[in-house]
């Protein structure tokens, strides 16, 4: 599974949570058991400095196949 680019608008000082569904080319959910996800906030795509990192959690793949959550709490955000 390759990396993806996702543009998100996140309000400064607020918590953020998004449920994502990962699907294959036939639009079927991909079972995520055993996979690891990460997400980072950077000023620009090519910036080396990581401003914050998302907490990524895979949901129950029997009841919610292909689904995971991305979270960023207000405390995780660094303000510059």
Number of domains within the chain: 1
Integer-rounded Cα radius of gyration of the chain: 14
Instruction: Quote the pLDDT of residue 17.
Output: 94
Over residues 21-48, the pLDDT tens digits come to 999 989 999 999 999 998 888 888 899 9
Residue 2 domain-assigned?
Answer: no
Q: For the chain, what is the mean pLDDT?
A: 87
Confidence of residue 63 (pLDDT cuts 50, 70, 90): very high
Residue 38 domain-assigned?
Answer: yes
Residue 8 domain-assigned?
Answer: no
Between the alpha carbon of residue 3 and those of residues 6, 43, 53, 62, the distances in Å are: 10, 18, 15, 24
Residue 55 domain-assigned?
Answer: yes
Evaluate whether 55 touches 41 at the Cβ level (below 8 Å): no
Domain span at 33 = 16-76
Residue 6 domain-assigned?
Answer: no
Instruction: Quote the pLDDT of residue 2.
Output: 60
Which residue, 80, 76, 74, is CA-closest to 12? 74
């Amino acid at each position: 599974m390759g990396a993806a680019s996702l543009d998100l608008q996140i309000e400064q000082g607020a918590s953020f949570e998004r449920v994502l569904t990962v699907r294959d080319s036939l639009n079927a959910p991909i079972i995520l058991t055993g996979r690891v996800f990460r997400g980072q906030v950077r000023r620009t795509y090519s910036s080396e400095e990581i401003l914050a990192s998302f907490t990524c959690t895979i949901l129950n793949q029997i009841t919610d196949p292909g689904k995971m959550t991305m979270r960023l709490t207000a405390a995780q955000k660094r303000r510059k």
